[in-house]
């Protein structure tokens, strides 16, 4: 088995080159070919000596997970289902907006946290993705999009680790993947344009703050421990007081940043004015509201959740209570509804393993142009107090 070069950050690739008896700077050239130009064949790398290309062909390859299907929404959102072996598949979503292009990336096949409102959580945990599988989603999407949009310019300006899985429960692969994304010889994304979203794995939030303080989103979903224990079972291990203290420590690594709290609005569960007032108490008990912002996410239903989306008037009333208290609050507009690409709907079809197996065997890419009329992962709209 040869080495998949998508598994390495620049430091790892330099060590790999040294093991081949090559100078470390060759790694920079190689890294740029792979990530900036999207090369998958060593023969494309014209400024590398033929002897090196031959050596590389013998001991390395560049391989993203293969695409099982691709869906394009009427609103331009694109969802890919990637085969990650063993009957597992993960999803990646590209969300185009006027001023940016955001890629929503998966970190695990399934998820062990088991949040009640999340389709990925309902399917259970299969395994952690490797660096090549995480970076491969970006590698594939960026170079596919350049071809699709006929541009040589970078298309993906932002990455959010909000696809399937809990990124902080796959920490070592996540960290190397973030390094590839941020590296100037890689994707050159700025720290603030890469967001890690977590359900609150407190010790790993501290490590991320030390190692690579990218933008942090914390999935809150409840203003008190009793309710959060029920919705986000990880809360029983890391309750709210510990979670909020970890948020404050995180910001010590990036003092001018803020934490985004995600809050999925569930009718009759966490969406009352009293819940909003409890949030204000929680946030203000630490400091004034300027260190965080709230992103209210309309619940995206899926069969078997037994939960219902809060009506828009409840979401807006909730948002107003928070913004009136000086907490910056946005309501997320769902995107890609017609192709099931919205937050929490990413299931990777793994519930139906036989179907995935069948599709893997056929190894074909299905292009489905959706024709639904609905809007469609998730733009934010500011709420005016």
Residues binding ligand SF4 (CB under 6 A): 111, 113-115, 118, 120-121, 165-166, 199, 219
Contact segment (CB under 6 A) with ligand SAH among 9-17, 91-99, 295-303, 312-320 equals: 295-303
Give me the least distance between CB of 308 and ligand SF4, in Å please.
17
114 contact choice in ligand SAH, ligand SF4, none (CB below 5 to 8 Å, kind-dependent): ligand SF4
Q: What is the β-pairing status of strands 108-110 and 125-128?
A: antiparallel
Of residues 163-182, those binding ligand SAH (CB under 6 A) = 166
Give me the least distance between CB of 210 and ligand SAH, in Å please.
20
Angle, helices 171-182 vs 202-211, to 10°: value is: 30
How far, in Å, CA of 110 to CA of 169, rounded?
12
Closer residue to ligand SAH (CB): 8 or 263: 263
Q: Which two tokens stand for residue 29?
A: 């050239």
How far, in Å, CA of 310 to CA of 312, rounded?
6
How far, in Å, CA of 116 to CA of 317, rounded?
24
How far, in Å, CA of 3 to CA of 279, rounded?
49
Which candidate, 265, 270, 220, 276, places its Cα nearest to that of 247? 220
Query: How wide is the angle at C-alpha 288 spanned by C-alphas 191 and 299, nearest 5°?
Result: 65
> Which of 91, 133, 166, 262 is the catalytic position?
91
Query: Is 343 near ligand SAH (CB under 6 A)?
Result: yes
Pick the binder of ligand SAH from 22, 75, 262, 338 (CB under 6 A).
Answer: 262
Give me the least distance between CB of 13 and ligand SAH, in Å please.
28
297 contact choice in ligand SF4, ligand SAH, none (CB below 5 to 8 Å, kind-dependent): ligand SAH
Give, as one character, the DSSP assignment of residue 276.
H
Closer residue to ligand SF4 (CB): 119 or 330: 119
343 has catalytic annotation? yes
Q: At which residue do the structure tokens 């933008």 appear?
A: 215
Closer residue to ligand SF4 (CB): 221 or 359: 221
> Which of 17, 104, 111, 343 is the catalytic position?
343
Give, as one character, the DSSP assignment of residue 186.
T
CB atoms inside a 10 Å sphere around CB 124: 13
Q: How far apart are the first and last CA of the chain?
A: 58
18 has catalytic annotation? no
Closer residue to ligand SAH (CB): 71 or 332: 332
Pick the binder of ligand SAH from 105, 297, 315, 327 (CB under 6 A).
Answer: 297
Query: Is 198 near ligand SAH (CB under 6 A)?
Result: yes
**What are the DSSP calls for 289-344, one per residue?**
GGGEEEEEEE----TT----BPPHHHHHHHHHHHHHTT-EEEEEEP--GGGT-STT
Q: Which two tokens stand for residue 71?
A: 């869906």
136 contact choice in ligand SF4, ligand SAH, none (CB below 5 to 8 Å, kind-dependent): none
72 contact choice in ligand SAH, ligand SF4, none (CB below 5 to 8 Å, kind-dependent): none
Contact segment (CB under 6 A) with ligand SAH among 27-35, 40-48, 130-138, 292-300 equals: 292-300
Q: Catalytic residue positions?
A: 91, 343
């Amino acid at each position: 088995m040869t080495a998949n070069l998508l598994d390495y950050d620049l430091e790892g690739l330099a060590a790999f080159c040294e093991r081949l008896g090559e100078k470390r700077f060759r790694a920079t050239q190689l890294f740029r070919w792979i990530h900036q130009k999207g090369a998958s064949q060593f023969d494309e790398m014209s400024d590398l000596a033929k002897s090196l290309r031959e050596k590389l062909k013998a001991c390395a390859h560049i391989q993203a997970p293969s695409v099982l299907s691709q869906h394009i929404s009427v609103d331009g959102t694109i969802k890919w289902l990637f085969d990650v072996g063993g009957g597992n598949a993960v999803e990646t979503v590209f969300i185009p907006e006027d001023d940016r292009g955001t890629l929503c990336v998966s970190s695990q096949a399934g998820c062990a946290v088991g949040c009640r409102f999340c389709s990925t959580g309902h399917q259970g945990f299969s395994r952690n993705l490797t660096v090549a599988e995480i970076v491969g989603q970006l590698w594939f999407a960026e170079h596919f999009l350049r071809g699709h949009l006929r541009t040589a310019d970078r298309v993906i300006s932002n990455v959010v680790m909000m696809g399937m899985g809990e990124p902080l429960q796959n920490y070592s692969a996540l960290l190397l993947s973030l390094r590839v994304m941020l590296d100037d010889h890689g994707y050159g994304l700025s720290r603030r344009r890469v967001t890690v979203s977590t359900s609150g794995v407190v010790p790993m939030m501290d490590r991320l703050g030390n190692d690579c303080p990218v933008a942090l989103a914390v999935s809150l979903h409840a203003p008190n421990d009793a309710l959060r224990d029920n919705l986000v079972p990880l809360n029983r291990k890391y309750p709210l007081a510990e979670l909020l203290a970890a948020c404050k420590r995180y910001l010590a690594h990036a003092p001018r940043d803020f934490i985004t709290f995600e809050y999925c609005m569930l009718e009759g569960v966490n969406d009352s004015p009293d819940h909003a007032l409890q949030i204000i108490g929680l946030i203000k008990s630490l400091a004034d509201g300027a260190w965080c912002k709230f992103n209210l996410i309309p619940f995206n239903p899926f069969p078997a959740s037994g939960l219902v989306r809060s009506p828009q008037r409840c979401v807006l009333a909730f948002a107003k209570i928070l913004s009136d208290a000086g907490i910056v609050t946005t309501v997320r507009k769902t995107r890609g509804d017609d192709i099931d690409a919205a937050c929490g709907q990413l299931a990777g079809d793994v519930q139906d393993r036989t179907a995935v197996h069948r599709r893997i065997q056929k190894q074909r890419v299905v292009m489905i142009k959706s024709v639904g009329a609905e809007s469609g992962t998730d733009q934010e709209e500011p709420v005016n107090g």
